[in-house]
Amino acid sequence: MHDPLRTALLVIDMQRDFCDPAGYAAQAGLDVARLASVSANIARLIAAARDAGTPVIYTREGHLPDLSDCTPAKLQRSRAAGAEIGSRGPLGRLLVRGEPGHGIIDALRPAPGEIVIDKPGYGAFYRTGLQTVLERMGVARLLLCGVTTEVCVHSTLREAVDRGYDCITVADACAASEPALQQPALAMIAVEGGILGTVAGSAHCLAMLAEREAAWEAT
């Protein structure tokens, strides 16, 4: 069945470096318990997407071991935050590909064959093959979840909207680094009639995916 709004679930940066007390975010002073708290809702979305035949795509922020893809400005910002990229921590070198901290948390481990996009920036389209992957799959709509709402989720959302994707940000499957930032970050999406797409709860998105599962099974 041709689907003019084929959907993909984009799980953004649910890595140990952001969700584990021994990772990058904790060393930078962020509340990683808050960031990890959305993992249960994300797990439900992943399960529903798999059942519906909806692609699940994961992103991981991190850099090459020689840091050649990390700009001096980004490196300096991490240093100022007290968690210099590439320095050693309990989970290996911070935000470096291949280190234990770079991996997706066990609760959301990708299934065999699911796509993982490694990105050196905040947005998932910057210096990655994400757009090529989405075009190959015929995806036109993205469900976005993950961390952090105000940085990597928002950066990816804005990149996606500029590329013409219809976007739904799943409010209770995203977490901001500070509680005060969550609602303003979500409110920005809806201005000007939904200039950055729409915001929905996970219950709404699960119902949408269940409808897609029924349509999938009927084909």
Domains and CATH numbers, the chain: 7-218 (3.40.50.850)
* Phi, psi (rounded to 5 degrees) for 119: -130, 140
Catalytic residue (one of 145, 152, 167, 174): 152
> Is 74 known to be catalytic?
no
190-199: average pLDDT: 96
Catalytic residue (one of 19, 70, 118, 119): 119
Task: For residue 32, give Cα distances in angstroms to 39, 59, 124, 183.
Answer: 12, 18, 21, 18
> Is 152 known to be catalytic?
yes
> Is 119 known to be catalytic?
yes
The model's pLDDT over 58-93, given as tens digits with 9 standing for 90+, comes to 999 999 999 999 999 999 999 999 999 999 999 999
Share of the chain above pLDDT 90, in %: 94
The mean pLDDT of the chain is 95
Residue 202 · residue 49 · CB < 8 Å: no
Query: Residue 5: pLDDT above 70?
Result: no
What pLDDT shows up at residue 2? 40
Task: Produce one character per residue of 193-216: b if its CB has 16 or more CB atoms within 10 Å, e if not.
Answer: eeebbebbebeebbebbeebbeee
Q: Checking DSSP bridges between strand 88-89 and strand 92-93, what pairing results, if any? A: antiparallel
